[in-house]
Amino acid sequence: MAALLIDEDPARAHEHALAATRRAGRVAVVRETAAITAYAVGDFALALRELRTYRRISGRDDQIALMVDSERGVGRPDRALEVGRAVDRKTLPTDVRVHLAIAMSGARLDLGETERALQELDIPELDPDRAFPWSPDLFAARATVLEELGRDDDAASWRKRAAVAADVIAGANGEDQWETVEVDEVIEESSDGGPASAGHGDVAGVRD
């Protein structure tokens, strides 16, 4: 029920998750669900407690990005960075590693470290010419940082890429199916060492 309701009614989803913790509090997925729904309703302190419990029970770091973001939510960006740095990123699945980079970038923004926030997003998964499930979030995060830096044209380029990636992913069907979309025009980033954007007629691929 929590999974069914999380998008349309997160508060009700959270009630179901809390009910589950009262009945099966030692089951990892129950604590994970309670954490996710607590985060969805803005109770970041509870989300952190549930995430720590989930991590202790499961021994997994797959919700590390949510932990970092929850530390930000309770006003501790310094602690958020410590939590993120304590994990060996090489051991994380790709999508988790990407969302951790996004959360770490957000913590840098909280601290006013805008240039370093951009550096957090300079990861191998930032491929401007292909879209994967994590790409819309990653592209949008980069756009946000570029806006903070006053680089509005570059930000608009990455916003467009995020929208294109989201559209392609929404249209993909089945496992490991590839679709393509023609990018009409994307303005290239200014020369700061970041990846160049594709021009007219380039094709972006996506794997669901």
> For residue range 160-187, what is the model confidence (pLDDT) as tens digits?
999 999 999 888 744 444 444 444 444 4
Which sign does the torsion angle of CA 14, 19, 25, 27 carry? Answer: negative
Q: Which amino acid is at 15?
A: E
List pLDDT tens digits, range 9-31. Answer: 999 999 999 999 999 999 999 99
The total of structural domains in the chain comes to 3
Q: Supply the pTM of this predicted model.
A: 0.80
C-alpha span between 1 and 5 (Å, rounded): 6
Q: E-assigned strands of 50-164?
A: 130-131
Q: Residue 97's pLDDT band (boundaries 50, 70, 90)?
A: very high
Please write down the long-range contacts of 8-12, taking CB distance under 8 Å and 24 or more positions apart. Answer: 10/37, 10/40, 10/41, 11/41
Find out whether 2 and 11 touch, Cβ atoms under 8 Å. no
| Statement to judge: residues 42 and 91 lie in one domain | no
User: Is the domain of 49 the same as that of 82?
Assistant: no
How many Cα neighbours within 13 Å face the side chain of 123? 23
Lowest mean pLDDT among 10-24, 80-94, 114-128, 163-177: 163-177
Range of the domain at 49: 1-60
Q: Are residues 19 and 9 in the same domain?
A: yes
| Residues 42-77 pLDDT 10s | 999 999 999 999 999 999 999 999 999 999 999 999
Q: Are residues 20 and 55 in the same domain?
A: yes
Whether 88 and 51 map to the same domain: the answer is no
Cβ atoms within 10 A of the Cβ of 114, count?
17
Asked if residue 144 and residue 111 are part of one domain, the reply reads: no
Same domain membership, residue 119 and residue 89? yes
